[in-house]
Amino acid sequence: MVVLLGIAIVACGALASRYPIAPAILLVVAGVLIGFAPTLREAHLPPEVILLVFLPALLFWESLTTSLREIRNNLRVVVLTSTVLVVATAGAVAATAHYMLGMSWGPAWVLGAALAPTDATAVGVLARHLPRRTVTTLRAESLINDGTALVIYGLAVGVTVGEEYLTGWHVTWLVVLSYGGGLLAGGLVGLLSWRIRRRMNDPMLEGIAIFVTPFAAFLAAEAIEASGVLAVVACGLFLSQVAPRITGAATRHLVVPFWSLSTTMLSSALFVLIGLEAQSAFRALSSTSMAQALLDTLLVAVVVIGVRWVWTYTTPYAIRVVDRRPVQRERRVSARQRTVTATAGFRGAVSLAAILAVPRTVESGAPFPDRDLIVLIACGVIMLSLLQALLLPAIVRFARLPSDTSVDEEIQLAEVFTLDAAIEAIDDTATELGVGELVTTRVRHELDKQRQLVEAAGSDGDPLVEHHDQYTSLSLTLLARRREALVQLRDERRIDDIVLRQVQSRLDIEEIRFSRAGPPE
């Protein structure tokens, strides 16, 4: 299964790079195809593994790479979509399942809560194609709305099983505990991690400390029955602000590639698992006919997607009536641009984990009502929501999104500011360190050359990243020539393999430095 999973990820990634198809869709299809093999269709991950292993890692990395400044700037939108929209979606699905599919209210709310939150991993595929504000809002929504959905889900499951009672005070307490406890647990674990890492000088040990942090935050919140999801998000956002002051280059060189590879593998595995579970749900269906189940799935998918579209084209106008400040008028977007936000309501990991965690029996020992249908509908809706990614290129063209030059402008500002700070400090720093005049002159000359590059980019009217891109391409090509010459020396037996590896290691460091100097994704 592991070998097939790796092959599927590589093959789907290669296809997605050649054809305009989202990798997530191809991975789901791969999961469906894997399910046709009788010996592989029994390979299922327990929902606890998804909640405890997959989600903390994925959400932590998303939190670390999300702009907290943009979250603050769009806080009202993020809060509304991650709370009110989640409740509205869960309620709409529950009403549909109760009145049109014949489910009792308990299982109907379980289905609604599981399908209410959007998926941060699936939203991440849009980062390269959309303005920063849009991507950050979508990411922040998908990071926070999981906590709201899981509160509703836990209450619905508890009521259905017979372990919970439904009163206003009880629901209020669960919400307060989930949000307050999750934020507190995440903040405390993040603070503890920061305090420990400040005293570390071993990149390997610090990398291990970073690795265990999201799982510690998740478990700490779960121990007090709070939201582990919110704890991981709070911890990640806190560390994203303080980590740059304590994390060294060697640690980043070790940690960033590890997390990029790990989260790519985990998210890809989840999409394959969605396809596998969808096929398994179709085979296990017994409470209704296949044709009726497909119609039910399509109906619920229309409700889930429709609620988001209605929300997107109603709440902004209501907010405009209430808040007419000039600063808010400047942040308004057109109706065309909102089509992207409406379409990006993908469902994924949290929905899958929640639906697989539905117990098979209630407290009396009877089967959980309509569990097979709930699992089938949820898997089907997840797959249908991901199919919206096929429409995104056309929708992005229709939206006529304005070009976002803010990142280029801020890169230019950062380059100028940091270079000026270094140039101003070079004499005092050289004196403090006892550096000779020859070395000081050499460093000053290098800084001046970089400053001239920044000024040239600004005067030409081109983004600085384009100049860096050309510089990087030339430098990497010349490094490749040096590498070929190095291997030639080894092949001619003029140097030993040990020497090759030592020199190659230095060339690798240079290559990594130049590769990371390119424009950000």
DSSP string, 113-149: HHHSS--HHHHGGGTTTS-HHHHHHHHHHHHHHHHHH
| CATH fold group of domain 2-404 | Na+/H+ antiporter like fold (1.20.1530)
Residue ranges with strand state E in 8-54: none
Check whether 164 has a pLDDT greater than 70: no
Q: 249-284 and 371-386 helices cross at what angle (nearest 10)? A: 130
pLDDT-derived band at 521, boundaries 50, 70, 90 = very low
The pTM is what? 0.79
Give the pLDDT confidence score for residue 152 in this predicted structure. Answer: 87
Give the pLDDT confidence score for residue 301 in this predicted structure. Answer: 95
> Mean pLDDT throughout 303-331?
84
pLDDT-derived band at 518, boundaries 50, 70, 90 = very low
| Tens-place pLDDT, residues 348-371 | 878 888 888 888 888 888 888 888
- In percent, how much of the chain has pLDDT > 90? 21
| Tens-place pLDDT, residues 477-497 | 888 888 899 899 888 888 888
Q: Which residue has the higher pLDDT, 395 or 167?
A: 395
Whole-number Å distance between alpha carbons of 16 and 264: 14
> Mean pLDDT throughout 126-153?
77
According to DSSP, the residues that pair with 367 across neighbouring strands are: 361
Check whether 460 has a pLDDT greater than 80: no
CA distances for 158 relative to 33, 90, 153, 347, angstroms: 35, 16, 8, 23
Residues of the chain with CATH 1.20.1530.20: 2-404
Per-chain mean pLDDT for the chain = 83
pLDDT-derived band at 59, boundaries 50, 70, 90 = confident
Give the pLDDT confidence score for residue 194 in this predicted structure. Answer: 93
According to DSSP, the residues that pair with 361 across neighbouring strands are: 367
- Radius of gyration of the chain from Cα atoms? 26
Check whether 200 has a pLDDT greater than 80: yes
| Tens-place pLDDT, residues 61-71 | 888 887 788 78
Q: Which of 15-19, 129-133, 491-495 has the highest mean pLDDT?
A: 491-495
Whole-number Å distance between alpha carbons of 215 and 504: 37
> Mean pLDDT throughout 131-150?
80
Left, alpha or beta for 434 (phi > 0: left; psi -120 to 50: alpha)? left
Whole-number Å distance between alpha carbons of 228 and 183: 9
Q: Is 21 exposed, middle or buried (0-12, 13-18, 19+ CB in 10 A)?
A: middle
> Mean pLDDT throughout 434-451?
86
